């Protein structure tokens, strides 16, 4: 291999095993040597203990993730054409897998698309970005205009690129928390269509980028069951599952969330579509308990879509207790032959742990779970088998007997 113009780091055997297994991160405690001048955000070459080249990536001494690999090809040079290829691959993939849902989908999903730490969601003619990688942040002046340009080639006009970098994790990367338009303009609201249903997306103030796109096909999967059933949608947030069930022809839909602000948006979304949903501001844990104690079996289909109960491996045990608690209460509340849709959006709560928790909850509730379907995130959030962290959403549909 010819001499390369980048600084070099040498890593431990443990780090080498991870990279040879195609995981894209080098942790700070895996670096044993640094050769050459380097600044945070620069490209660095990564070598084994025997000085064999393993890949190249973004360097950042602020971060526990000291290097995020961007290439394993020694012939790559990180010019504009490199980033254009990466972006084009990401967009072409969405064109192929999302079809008519392309107007509202995730265009870039970080490491799964070879663009570390970068998220880009499309809401019609607005792109909303989040970046938690120092190196990608330094290249946004190149990357964001390319996104707009490549979409324009495909006949898609974008009127604004809005940055939602109000993320606490950015401080661990040495990056400030900021929001605002990188390019273009907008009033912070855009109306999208999911499964034929209209939703108002507040991309200035809504959670994450403004709307959770990863559950779109899971919501549609509930339509056959929701029809003619009495539905309780727990942790409804802005009403996405509830409105899908109402559109599917549910006999009744009650949607519960502890946030009155979220419910105000959910009510607005229901009005947009002329759908009849009862919205209740309450703590889901308390509501399920009270309903069971009063023997109020008002529902024969319960949906559990809670926020992530764990965002680190250190809190998994507590999370398991939280997940078990709400699933147990839902199972006890449902009549025999009722239906349960339940999920977890934390990759730390692995599928194995989630299934084990469901078994335990069902045993304690003295019910049997008849699995109808097991699902994951929609394909615009592609799971890279080399990066377990990209496999985060577990979604199960059961009959409870």
Cβ(266)–Cβ(239) under 8 Å? yes
Q: How far is CA 179 from the centre of its chain?
A: 19
Residue partners of 107: CB distance under 8 A and separation at least 6: 90, 91, 94, 120, 121, 122, 127, 147, 380
How many Cα neighbours within 13 Å face the side chain of 321?
Answer: 3
User: In 343-354, which positions are buried (b, 16+ CB within 10 angstroms) versus exposed (e)?
Assistant: bbbbbbbbeebb
Q: Which of 343, 355, 359, 346 is nearest to 314 (CA)?
A: 346
Per 3-state DSSP, what percentage of the chain is helix, strand, and coil (rounded to 5)? 35, 30, 35
Separation between Cα atoms, residue 244 and residue 223, nearest integer Å: 7
Residue partners of 284: CB distance under 8 A and separation at least 6: 234, 235, 256, 257, 258, 306, 326
Q: Which residues are paired to 233 by β-bridges? A: 255, 303
Q: Which residues are paired to 34 by β-bridges? A: 9
For 3, phi then psi, to 5°, come to -60, 130
CB atoms within 10 A of CB 181: 12
131 counts as catalytic = no
DSSP 270-316: HHHHT---EEEES-HHHHHHHHHHTT----SEEEE-PPPS-SSGGGH
Structure tokens at 50: 């025997």
Counting every residue written for the chain, the total comes to 401
Separation between Cα atoms, residue 242 and residue 277, nearest integer Å: 7
CB atoms within 10 A of CB 1: 8
What residues act catalytically? 345
């Amino acid at each position: 291999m010819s001499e390369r113009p980048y600084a070099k780091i040498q890593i431990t055997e443990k780090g080498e095993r991870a990279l040879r297994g195609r995981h894209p991160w080098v942790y700070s405690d895996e670096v044993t040597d640094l050769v050459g001048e380097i600044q945070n955000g620069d490209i660095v070459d990564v070598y084994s203990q025997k000085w064999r080249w393993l890949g190249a990536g973004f360097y950042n001494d602020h971060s526990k993730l000291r290097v995020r690999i961007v290439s394993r090809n020694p012939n790559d040079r990180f010019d504009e054409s490199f980033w254009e290829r990466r972006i084009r691959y990401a967009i072409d993939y969405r064109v192929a897998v999302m079809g008519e849902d392309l107007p509202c989908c995730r265009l870039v999903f970080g490491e799964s698309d070879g663009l570390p730490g970068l998220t880009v969601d499309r809401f019609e003619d607005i792109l909303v970005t989040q970046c938690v990688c120092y190196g990608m942040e330094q290249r946004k002046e190149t990357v964001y205009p390319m996104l707009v340009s490549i979409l324009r080639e495909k006949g898609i006009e974008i009127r604004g690129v809005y940055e939602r970098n109000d993320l606490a994790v950015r401080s661990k990367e040495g990056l400030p928390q900021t929001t605002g338009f990188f390019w273009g303009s907008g009033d912070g609201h855009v109306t999208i269509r999911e499964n034929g249903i209209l939703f108002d997306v507040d991309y200035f103030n809504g959670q994450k980028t403004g709307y959770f796109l990863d559950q779109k096909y899971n919501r549609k999967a509930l339509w056959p069951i929701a029809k003619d059933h009495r539905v309780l949608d727990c942790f409804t947030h802005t009403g996405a599952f509830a409105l899908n069930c109402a559109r599917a022809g549910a006999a009744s839909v009650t949607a519960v969330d502890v946030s009155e602000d979220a419910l105000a948006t959910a009510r607005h979304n229901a009005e947009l579509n002329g759908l009849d949903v009862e919205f209740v501001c309450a703590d889901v844990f308390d509501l399920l308990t009270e309903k069971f104690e009063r023997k109020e079996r008002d529902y024969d289909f319960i949906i559990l879509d809670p926020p992530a109960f764990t965002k680190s491996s250190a809190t998994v045990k507590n999370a398991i207790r939280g997940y078990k608690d709400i699933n147990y209460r839902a199972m006890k509340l449902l009549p025999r032959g009722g239906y349960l849709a339940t999920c977890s959006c934390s990759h730390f709560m692995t599928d194995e742990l989630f299934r084990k928790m469901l078994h335990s909850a069902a045993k304690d509730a003295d019910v049997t779970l008849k699995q109808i379907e097991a699902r994951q995130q929609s394909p615009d959030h592609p799971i890279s088998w080399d990066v377990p962290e990209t496999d985060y959403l577990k979604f199960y549909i059961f009959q409870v007997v």
